[in-house]
Structure 1
Amino acid sequence: MPEHASQGEPAPLPPRERLQDLLFDAARLGRADMIPALHRAGIDLEATDLRGYTALILASYNGSLETTRALLDLGAAVDTPDTGRGNTALMGVAFKGYRQILLCLLEAGAAVDRRNLAGQTALMTATLFGHAAIVEDLLAAGANPLLVDIAGNSARSLAGTQGNVALLEVLDSACPPTGTLDG
């Protein structure tokens, strides 16, 4: 038994790496209440976990609006991409369909047309997964429906691939396809 334990003294603080891991755990689990204390302890909000995700990406992707707000309020950078595929928190919530978190990230200044390493945007992701409300919010925030990824796909072509006529109509109303005749 360690000497401090036998004397009733508190155990020493965990190493800095453990505190950093606690930030990732708090973000992943939606423990917004832990974020300020970890920040006061000097934990780096922009650090990435072993999979390359920041705390903001973890909080938003796991559906915690409160934790996402706490991180943003403490200065977490809204557009820091993961180190694997270059996805941002905005891209993650576009994939998951978390509208309130998407609106929070947009309000915090998330770059609506930021691209990941495959050239994909949040609009393309939301379209691919059929999240109509997210698509509409991104278009309202200025997302460019004409952008194409490195494979040549646009949000419109992805909606077509999915057979999502409703999203095709939404995207067409934002930017009609070229080559159509007005009748």
Structure 2
Amino acid sequence: MNSLPPATLEFAHRMFDAAREGNSELLLAAIDAGLPVNLTNDKGNTLLMLASYSNHPTLVSGLLARRADPNRLNDHGQSPIAGAVFKGYEEVVRVLSQGGADPWLGQPSAVEAAVMFDRKRVLEMMGIREGDVARSDGVPEPYLLQ
């Protein structure tokens, strides 16, 4: 049973909704007023994960500027950058890459997702070059030669 007051839970839900909706004004003001930037929901999704997965690059940038952890995995072992790669949100991938997101973290990693969905441009955005990606047997994956 949760011991938080109903008003606190309602406020937290509003903040998670703001991340999904890209409401930078509301969410960043709340963080500036003391809301933890790495707040997670019941599935371990951070505000950054929700903003990334919902294609809000401006909010992602604002969260990173406030020290959101770009490498925090949710309860399923997924990273914000892998979610953005999966959804095909190139601008979010660029912002996360510039903000220090590790494309090799998580399951699947952003690199694995990009290879799986043949997103060569995204691989390059993340700084991944041919030969950087190997199959489970250690053989380089020539993803750029197709």
Give the conservation status (yes or no) of the 8 Å contact 2:23–2:59: yes
Higher relative contact order (CA 8 A, sep 6+): 2
Structure 1 residue 66: Cα displacement: 0.9
With structure 2 as the length reference, what TM-score do the two structures score?
A: 0.82
With structure 1 as the length reference, what TM-score do the two structures score?
A: 0.67
Q: Structure 2 regions of 5+ residues with no counterpart?
A: 1-5
Residues 30 and 109 of structure 1, relative CA distance in 2, 3 Å threshold? same
SS in structure 1 of the partner of residue 31 of structure 2: helix
Name 2:124's counterpart in structure 1. 136
Q: Partner letter of residue 120 of structure 2?
A: A
Structure 1 residue 131: Cα displacement: 2.0
Name 1:8's counterpart in structure 2. none
Name 1:71's counterpart in structure 2. 63
Structure 1 residue 22: Cα displacement: 1.7
Give the conservation status (yes or no) of the 8 Å contact 1:123–1:155: no
Give the conservation status (yes or no) of the 8 Å contact 1:124–1:154: no
Q: Tell me, in whole angstroms, the C-alpha distance in 2 between the residues paired with 1:100 and 1:147.
A: 27
2:91 paired residue among 90, 100, 107:
100
Q: Structure 1 regions of 5+ residues with no counterpart?
A: 1-13, 157-167, 174-183
Residue 29, structure 1, aligned to residue 21, structure 2: yes
> How many residue pairs align between the two structures?
141
Residues 143 and 96 of structure 1, relative CA distance in 2, 3 Å threshold? farther
SS in structure 2 of the partner of residue 24 of structure 1: helix
Q: Tell me, in whole angstroms, the C-alpha distance in 2 between the residues paired with 1:24 and 1:51.
A: 12
Over the matched positions of the two proteins, sequence identity in percent amounts to 24
